[in-house]
Chains A and B, each alone.
Chain A
């Protein structure tokens, strides 16, 4: 199951991250996972939100360069070796990861791993075969 992650271009300027988050907050959009990749001059803010289409429209209306990227979210037990197990499965099948980030669901004692793959279909097939729990977009919305 593919999920639409929102990617936003942000310059390294004071207050930019705050402005993005405030915009989403003011419009009742909940951020479920977030990651910033940065260079000296700019960064790319990546986030999984509960209402992706709404969030994307909102950001564009406010002048941000933003787009959807298809990612896969995977749930693992929040315990040592959780991430390593998943990576082994991917490694054994030669699935390349472009980038990933993770966050912890305290209520459920689960960790949510967000992956951007070079070949998303192959990745999904591999993960499904290995019986890894893939998070649906519905689950992201409801959580």
Chain B
């Protein structure tokens, strides 16, 4: 079913008028309500009256992750805190996380776009959904929750983890829809077998999987193991969380809800649009948000985009699966990890040098694992094992609290970390994505 036919199947001309109106309103709104954006637009020599159509969007300055960091925690909000209903945080590049605030209207918008997404995946009112995305501060859980409420699904708000309990819920209650990270879906296969369940006979028929990059081969594996239709949902907390774009069962790209999240694809070096059919950095402008509207936000995700109408009837543009990043961020179990965060932690521990390497691996049937190699320099070296062990534990704990994900720390000899042209290779991603 199509949840909002008017918007999802709008003709180009009608939609362009809506987008133009909304962009104008958004620019007027941030100019009036957000001092950071007012200064930014003034410096750029733009006044709200310069924006007459959605095509004028190219005149506007970009917003970046650095803007989020520099204005931590609330300075990019366009509403006073008392009007913010909910706050979510995700990883920032260094010490401070990225903070987003939702007004009541924003939460409603979130429910709307996630309802469209679940419907797009094939869910219908009355279906039962098991939400196994984390609910705490992470956008995955609650975003899915609001969408399921809006669409009229029966919700099992399981949150992440406790795999045996998840599988018991599935087996006993028979939910038709599963929402979690794709790697967790695969991980649960082995656990199910151990419990004596037949994964191919599971009640899950539709999987709404996201929050991390995954490949076509991973899709095939999930689909054959669970005997379900596995679909990709895209989102990022800065824009709203999950529900920015969603695949339909035709699997011809992710429908981006462009009446509210206006997409552009640019060459990250020049800032100009890429040619048709080429990939580039996805830039999104939120044209209806109130809490923290973002103008031309550089997602750093590399995608392609196509504008033809899908077999399903939706006229929205479709994004290709994310093919990479323009920065060094990696996503592990749905959590954004920046190598700079690790550097930050190591510099904060007396005597340690930021000589490290991050190894991510995804072993068959297991969740992604991070191992962090730290070179042992003379300052922290001790002839006593217990002191070295204490150091290991200290680094592990600090990393866990900064990254929000457990990582195994391994002390290694100096200069064991591979250096090319004097520059250490910071990230080794062994996952086959």
Contact = CB atoms under 8 A, between A and B. Distances in A.
Interface residues of A, number: 21
A115 to B, nearest CB: 12
Interface string A1-37: 0000101011100000000000000000000000001
B415 interface: yes
Contacts of A44: 382-385, 388
Given A9-B376, A44-B382, A64-B414, 4 more contacts: A9-B411, A46-B383, A65-B381, A98-B384
Interface residues of B, number: 17
A116 B381 CA distance: 16
The 8 closest A-B pairs by CB, nearest first: A7-B383, A69-B383, A65-B381, A9-B376, A37-B385, A41-B410, A65-B376, A11-B413
A77 to B, nearest CB: 28
A2 B340 CA distance: 43
A41 B410 CA distance: 7
A7 B416 contact: no
B343 interface: no
B389 A39 contact: yes
Interface of A: 5, 7, 9-11, 37, 39, 41-42, 44, 46, 60, 63-67, 69, 98-99, 116
Given A9-B376, A41-B410, A63 B385 contact: no
B412 A39 contact: no
Contacts of B127: none
A65 B383 contact: no
B378 interface: yes
A103 to B, nearest CB: 17
Contact of B411 (A42, A64, A98): A42
Nearest to B377: A65
B413 A9 contact: yes
Interface of B: 376-378, 381-385, 388-389, 410-416
Contact of A63 (B384, B388, B410, B414): B414
A64 B381 CA distance: 11
Nearest to B416: A11
A9 B382 CA distance: 8
A39 B383 contact: no
A56 to B, nearest CB: 11
A63 B376 contact: no
19 contacts: A7-B381, A7-B382, A9-B413, A37-B385, A39-B385, A39-B388, A41-B410, A41-B411, A42-B376, A42-B388, A42-B412, A44-B384, A60-B378, A63-B415, A64-B413, A64-B414, A65-B376, A65-B378, A66-B378
B384 A116 contact: yes
A110 B381 CA distance: 33
Given A44-B385, A67-B381, A116-B383, A11 B412 contact: yes
B107 to A, nearest CB: 47
Nearest to A7: B383
A66 to B, nearest CB: 8
Given A44-B385, A46-B383, A65 B413 contact: yes
A100 to B, nearest CB: 12
Contacts of A37: 385
A12 to B, nearest CB: 10
Nearest to A37: B385
B346 to A, nearest CB: 16
A138 B144 CA distance: 74
